[in-house]
Amino acid sequence: MILVKPSYKIVDYFPSKFDYNWNCKSDYGSLECIEEIGRTCYKSEDRITPGSSKQFIQKLLELKHESVLEHSAMTVRFICDRGVSHELVRHRIASFSQESTRYCNYKSGVTFVIPPWTNMIEGEYRESKSPSLGDNLWFNSCLDSEDRYITLLTVSKWSPQQARSVLPNSLKTEIVITANFREWRHIFNLRCSEKAHPQMRELMIPLRDNCRRLIPVIFD
Identified catalytic residue from 39, 82, 182, 191 = 191
Count CB-CB contacts under 10 A for residue 39: 18
Query: In angstroms, how far is CA 115 from the centroid of its own chain?
Result: 17
Active-site residue flag, 191: yes
**Burial call 6-20: b when 16+ CB within 10 Å, e when fewer:** bebeeeebebeeeee
6, 7, 28, 39, 102 from 173: Cα distances, Å: 9, 11, 35, 41, 12
The residue among 219, 214, 192, 190 whose CA lies nearest residue 203 is 192
Q: How far apart are CA 55 and CA 57, in angstroms?
A: 6
Question: Bridge partners of 10?
Answer: 76
Question: Longest C-alpha distance within the chain, in Å?
Answer: 71
Q: What is the DSSP string of 106-160?
A: -TT--EEEPPTTS---SEE-SS-----HHHHHHHHHHHHHHHHHHHHHHTS---H
Looking at residue 2, its amino acid is I
Catalytic residues: 191
